[in-house]
Chains A and B, each alone.
Chain A
Amino acid sequence: MSTQPVIELIDVWKSFGSQQVLKGVNLSVTEGKTTVIVGASGQGKSLIVRHILGLVKPDKGKVLFCGKEITGVSKKELMEIRMNFGVLFQNAALFDSMTVYDNVALPLRERTRKTEREIGKIVHEKLAIMDLGGNDDKYPAQLSGGMRKRVGLARALVLDPRIIFFDEPTTGLDAAKSRELYRVFYQTQARLGYTAVIVSHDVPKVLKLADYVALLHDGAIRDLLTPEEFQLSQDPVIREYVETTMGPLYSSKMEDAI
């Protein structure tokens, strides 16, 4: 890693009641690269993202954004930091009393001085990329789960953010749609060069997109590796994860190698 990390978590602890969820998370996210966080359900992957977004304060430890502690900054500074963000929540968090069009248009209306015509052009372009043409006037409740997710993605990308956070972007999408989506990520990443933090379960596929993979296990990041290193890691925990998620094809290849 040559460049300085944009985001750094240093020994982050977080508990809810008696449940200790994060037990000393260390993670650094490199500028312009895609970091994928994997791990079993309920391990606290979404919680890590919420820490980075400044929505949750750690009990102990630090979350640094460009070297500045995100929980220590003023509301105004936090707002300025978030100007760089494009976020997809796990549940999409669409504004449920606004139409699809208005959802995607909102960041443009509130954060830019574009005219309604320019906004319409951008919104339709983003919706088309997500294969959502003709759904302008639908409300989130009238969409399927996968469609909602794609509206959330269109909304997250509409301002061409510098850093994107996608929490399980392909969960609930069929295989063809998720492959298509990965292609879109790959292309936009190449075009815009944004930094990405992606939480995913979709393990063999998402590795193609990743520059770094972090496995969250038992409240801590087990290791931060490149996808190749990750698949061949000798760490027993990572190895078990790779084997269970990728199936016998990969593990037998590994055994051959040994």
Chain B
Amino acid sequence: MPDFLEKLGGNALYYINQTGRMGVFLFYSVISILRPPYKIFPAVRQIYVIGTLSIFVIIFTGAFTGMVLGLQGYHTLRKFGAEGLLGSAVALSLIRELGPVLAALMVTGRAGSAICAEIGIMRISEQIDALECMAIDPHKFIVAPKFIAGIISMPLLTAIFDVIGILGGYVVGVKLLGADEGAYFSSMYKDVDFQDVYMGFIKAVCFGFLIILITASKGFYVHLEKGGGFGAEGVSYTTTSAVVMASVTILLFDYFLTSVLL
């Protein structure tokens, strides 16, 4: 029993410690973003890496999500004779929930893992120490551009996801299953409010921020990670754990944000 308690306490302390580290990491990152000089090019480059390179995955998953929504929605709504609401059902699910969440999960898998591994390798090969010794702030140099890019990219990727999804629902619902074309768009036009778009936007921004915070800080402190081994193994363990943590956090925050914004 004491053994068990000791382990429990140790783990609790470790997670409190890790949360504290993330707080410190966030603090220094925000300061480094706010402090001049402001360099545009590194952020643009990261927007390319995090955003542009994710577009294909986003289009692909967006299309299939919309298509399956069209399929399911059509058959369910037909039972109630409400096929005419298909457009608004697809659009609202996408804009409020599925767009931000699925886009965030995709970006976590694609870009988040890469960020964690990249920064982790820089840490274990002493590149971050080298930056510090050159009096170059690693938060400013490595992390700040990624934060800016994450916060800018996520809403844009989400918007792409939503639009493609709505088109996917249209193709399946209207073209394949024969729902009414006019009703598809007019119901959407009638039922989707600014409030819904706003909610999706806020979620996307928050998720973008969370993805970078979790994956970048895990990579930055890879040497303090517990139970992950060293070197390449440590980085791979930490990357996996960062992706899991970011995904879970996104789903948790999705619930809280929805309950606050609704």
Contacts and interface: CB of A to CB of B under 8 A. Distances in A.
Contacts of B136: 106-107, 110-111
A101 interface: no
Nearest to B140: A110
Contact of B135 (A50, A55, A79): A79
B134 A93 contact: no
B146 to A, nearest CB: 14
A82 B133 CA distance: 6
Interface string A165-206: 000000000000000000000000000000000000000000
Nearest to A158: B134
A96 B120 CA distance: 13
Nearest to B141: A110
A87 interface: yes
B130 interface: yes
B134 A82 contact: yes
B125 A87 contact: no
Contacts, number: 51
A6 to B, nearest CB: 16
Contact of B126 (A83, A85, A89): A89
Nearest to A110: B136
Nearest to A161: B134
Contacts of B141: 110
B129 interface: yes
Contacts of A110: 134, 136, 141
B130 A80 contact: no
Interface residues of A, number: 21
Interface in A53-77: 53, 55, 75
A55 B134 CA distance: 12
Nearest to A95: B127
Q: Tell which of B121, B125, B129, B133 has the most Cβ of chain A within 10 Å.
A: B133
A91 interface: yes
B130 A93 contact: yes
Contacts of B129: 50, 53, 55, 89, 93
Interface string A232-258: 000000000000000000000000000
A96 B127 contact: yes
Interface string A107-128: 1001100000000000000000
B132 A91 contact: no
Contacts of A79: 135, 137
B135 A93 contact: no
B125 A111 contact: no
A110 B136 CA distance: 7
Nearest to B118: A97
B34 to A, nearest CB: 14
A72 B232 CA distance: 33
Q: Tell which of B28, B125, B129, B135 has the most Cβ of chain A within 10 Å.
A: B135
A15 B146 CA distance: 36
Given A85-B133, A96-B121, A107-B134, 13 more contacts: A53-B133, A55-B133, A75-B28, A79-B135, A82-B134, A89-B129, A89-B130, A93-B125, A93-B126, A94-B127, A95-B130, A111-B134, A111-B136
23 contacts: A53-B132, A53-B133, A55-B129, A55-B133, A82-B135, A85-B135, A87-B130, A87-B133, A87-B134, A89-B126, A89-B129, A93-B129, A93-B130, A94-B130, A95-B122, A95-B127, A95-B130, A96-B125, A106-B134, A107-B134, A107-B136, A111-B134, A111-B136
